[in-house]
Amino acid sequence: MKALFIGGTGTISSAITQQLAESGCELYLLNRGTRNDNLPAGVKVITADIHDEQKVADLIKDHEFDVVADFIAFVPEHVERDYRLFKGKTKQYIFISSASAYQKPLSDYRITEGTPLSNPYWEYSRNKIACEDYLMKQYRDNGFPITIVRPSHTYSERSIPLGVHGNNGSWQVAKRMLENKPVIIHGDGTTLWTLTHNRDFAKGFIGLMGNIHAIGESVHITSDESVTWNQIYEIIADALGVKLNAVHVPSEFLDACSIYDFRGGLIGDKANTVVFDNSKLKRLVPDFVATTRVDQGIKQTVQFILKHPELQKEDPEFDAWCDRVIEVLDEALKKIKE
């Protein structure tokens, strides 16, 4: 199989790149070359900015691919460009959408690919829906061989999966735990959530590549395991070897007082209970099974980050914001009790 990944070094795509390289796939990555230091042997790089359409067209003019997958397309203009570049040059074009595009609020917590797409809270999700709409039109009208993949919360060894964090990622929350400082959990922490390790996501994704039954289809790829946010934070604390000091804060309050995008990331996504039905994926990829249990995967991630100081990026602004939110809630409670 000859495949081209636009991107190929991010959280979701890096595990796919690794597994394909090990399988002997002829894999090309098209990116700007800023994160290619640890690519597996045999992976070929086409160095370009995908937004420079003419340069990319010149670089791929002598290539045809079995699969093209774009991991960094976020708005309709991106997939419109891809259609111009790859129409007639690939047997399958895979668009990475998002499970956050599913209807919010949900009418049923059990999500299938037939769940309506509608997210009034998050522009990111609405843009992904618009991309899907454009690609499905090209499939229906012009036979463009598309497959739409919807990841949910996918994580790797480089970042601890959380509900509430700042712009510098997850380390500051782990640092607060290590310092026995209170940690904010959105809502009451009892909503169900699904975490998927990128190793497991890669198995499902590779099973869809070159799969004739996946053409014209939309498929989400997630674990079958559901846990509460309270359990997720307890697992993180346990992996760090500390006791969790949790403070539960309503998601609406976090959104209202936040300098961060909690309206989209929480109200439009993580504050909702979601349980995924992966029956469609398993019909298309009969041997798919997610084998990384949440507690095992998070423990591996925490151990990896503790051994790699370069991943421990502090966020004093977020730390101070957490302290202020908790202080305000404590003050309100005292006033009510007076």
Cα torsion angle, 308, 311, 315, 318, sign: negative
Q: Which CATH number does the domain housing residue 41 bear?
A: 3.40.50.720
Task: Count CB neighbours of 134 within 10 A.
Answer: 19
The answer on pLDDT for 259 being more than 90 is no
Question: Do 258 and 204 reside in the same domain of the chain?
Answer: no
pLDDT digits 0-9 by tens, 123-164: 999 999 999 999 999 999 999 999 999 999 999 999 999 999
Question: Do 177 and 209 reside in the same domain of the chain?
Answer: no
In this prediction, residue 95 has a pLDDT band, given cuts at 50, 70 and 90, of: very high
pLDDT digits 0-9 by tens, 7-43: 988 999 999 999 999 999 999 999 988 877 788 889 9
pLDDT of residue 109: 87
Question: Do 22 and 133 reside in the same domain of the chain?
Answer: yes
pLDDT digits 0-9 by tens, 46-84: 999 999 999 999 999 999 999 999 999 999 999 999 999
In a domain, 82, yes or no: yes
pLDDT of residue 50: 96
Q: How far apart are the C-alpha atoms of 53 and 56, rounded to whole Å?
A: 5
Question: Do 206 and 325 reside in the same domain of the chain?
Answer: no
Q: How far apart are the C-alpha atoms of 183 and 82, rounded to whole Å?
A: 42
Question: Do 119 and 9 reside in the same domain of the chain?
Answer: yes
Q: Which CATH number does the domain housing residue 245 bear?
A: 3.90.25.10
In a domain, 332, yes or no: yes
- Per-residue b/e over 151-178, b at no fewer than 16 CB within 10 Å? bbbbbbbbbbbbbbbbeebbbbbbbbbe
Question: Do 66 and 205 reside in the same domain of the chain?
Answer: yes
In a domain, 23, yes or no: yes
In a domain, 74, yes or no: yes
Question: Do 81 and 138 reside in the same domain of the chain?
Answer: yes
pLDDT of residue 34: 80
Question: Do 180 and 307 reside in the same domain of the chain?
Answer: yes
Confidence (pTM): 0.95
The residue with tokens 């469609």 is 280
User: Environment class of residue 252 by beta-carbon count within 10 Å: exposed (0-12), middle (13-18) or buried (19+)?
Assistant: middle
Q: In which domain, by residue range, is 124 found?
A: 2-153+198-221
Question: Do 212 and 333 reside in the same domain of the chain?
Answer: no
Q: How far apart are the C-alpha atoms of 151 and 25, rounded to whole Å?
A: 23
Total structural domains in the chain?
2
| Average pLDDT estimate for 96-119 | 95
Neighbouring residues of 123: CB distance < 8 A, sequence distance ≥ 6:
264
Question: Do 188 and 89 reside in the same domain of the chain?
Answer: no
Neighbouring residues of 35: CB distance < 8 A, sequence distance ≥ 6:
9
pLDDT digits 0-9 by tens, 175-196: 999 999 999 999 999 999 999 9
- Parallel, antiparallel or unpaired: strands 183-186 and 246-249: parallel
Going from the C-alpha of 202 to that of each of 93, 99, 277, the distances in angstroms are 16, 16, 18
In a domain, 280, yes or no: no
Question: Do 38 and 65 reside in the same domain of the chain?
Answer: yes
The answer on pLDDT for 258 being more than 90 is no
